[in-house]
Amino acid sequence: MGIIKESLKQEIKQLPFTLGKLLGVVMAVIGIPAAIWIATRNPGASWQEVLPYALQGIFGILIFYVSSILARHRLRALPPPVRNQTEKNRVSIVAWKIFFGVVGLAFLSIYLMWYLG
């Protein structure tokens, strides 16, 4: 039971960074495709129309990246229960795969909306 409690405490300490990653993904998935959508759908679109969405996407990527780095530093600061470097890298790689998968799905949905619409 002690291992479960320690693991739960560590996961709760990681929660703000996980939520930060989620916020970054959502911002990037909404911002970047919206900027592309506006720029390609309206050839006469000014940069003032595209810039807010592009900045939202860029800031989303930055928030995701910073949250990932902070989570990694928090893992180093916590006493390691059973985690080794390979497991930490695997967790980081999985998070990045999920991020790029969600972004890819957003691009695919925009392409399909453009193609079907």
**CA angle at 37 for the pair 20 and 32, rounded to the nearest 5°:** 20
Q: What are the 10-residue block averages of pLDDT along the chain, 117 residues in total?
A: 65 86 92 89 85 95 93 72 65 79 86 76
b/e map of 43-81 (b: 16 or more CB within 10 Å)? Answer: eeeeeeebeebbebbeebbebbeebbeebeeebeeeeee
Q: Is the pTM of this model over 0.75?
A: no
Contacts (Cβ under 8 Å, ≥6 apart) of 61: 24, 28
Q: For position 93, what pLDDT does the model report?
A: 79
The DSSP letter of residue 42 is: -
Q: For position 98, what pLDDT does the model report?
A: 84
Q: For position 87, what pLDDT does the model report?
A: 66
Q: For position 57, what pLDDT does the model report?
A: 94
